[in-house]
Amino acid sequence: MVCLGNICRSPLAEGLLAAKLPPNKFIVDSAGTGNYHIGKQPDQRSIMTAQKNGLDITNQKARQFTARDFEEFDYIYVMDNSNYDDVIELAKKEEHKKKVQLILNDLFPGDNVDVPDPYYGLQNGFDMVYEMLDETCNILAKKLIEKHP
């Protein structure tokens, strides 16, 4: 799960997807394309939104996406079109580019819709992001479980 800061959207996406998959079968991680928040806990507003919904994301620590992630992960889900461009720029092989997908394309196929960046907004932006990610991760988890039984 990749966003810009790895403190607002992708920590929620990581927590949500991990909670929907059987434990010990999949590795779900997140990273940011930017380096501003390396080592930090998720934003308090993401932590609060998750907590309200019974999800604990306090153990996460921000890190930056690196080209090594193309080798280590089978699927790379980005939150918005700008994350998509930044990640694709780091891909040197066609097979790596193919791993990168916009996360909302599972919910709205082919529409290339962004998960809006809630960082500069209010708490309700985080609630909206949570709802979108919850819905798309339901579809995603189902697909992954079917593909990797």
Active site residues: 3, 9, 117
Q: Closer to ligand 4NP by CB, 79 or 141: give it.
A: 79
At 92 the three-state DSSP class reads coil
Q: Supply angle C-alpha 88, 29, 44, rounded to 5.
A: 105
Helix (H) or strand (E) holding 2: strand 2-3
Whole-number minimum distance, CB 89 to ligand 4NP, in Å?
A: 17
The residue at minimum Cβ distance from ligand 4NP is: 5
Do residues 97 and 88 lie in contact, with contact meaning Cβ atoms separated by under 8 Å? Answer: yes
Q: Closer to ligand 4NP by CB, 63 or 97: give it.
A: 63
Binding-site ranges for ligand 4NP (CB under 6 A): 3-9, 32, 36, 117, 119
Whole-number minimum distance, CB 41 to ligand 4NP, in Å?
A: 12
Do residues 126 and 20 lie in contact, with contact meaning Cβ atoms separated by under 8 Å? Answer: no
Whole-number minimum distance, CB 82 to ligand 4NP, in Å?
A: 10
Q: Closer to ligand 4NP by CB, 9 or 96: give it.
A: 9
Sign of CA dihedral 40, 43, 44, 47: negative
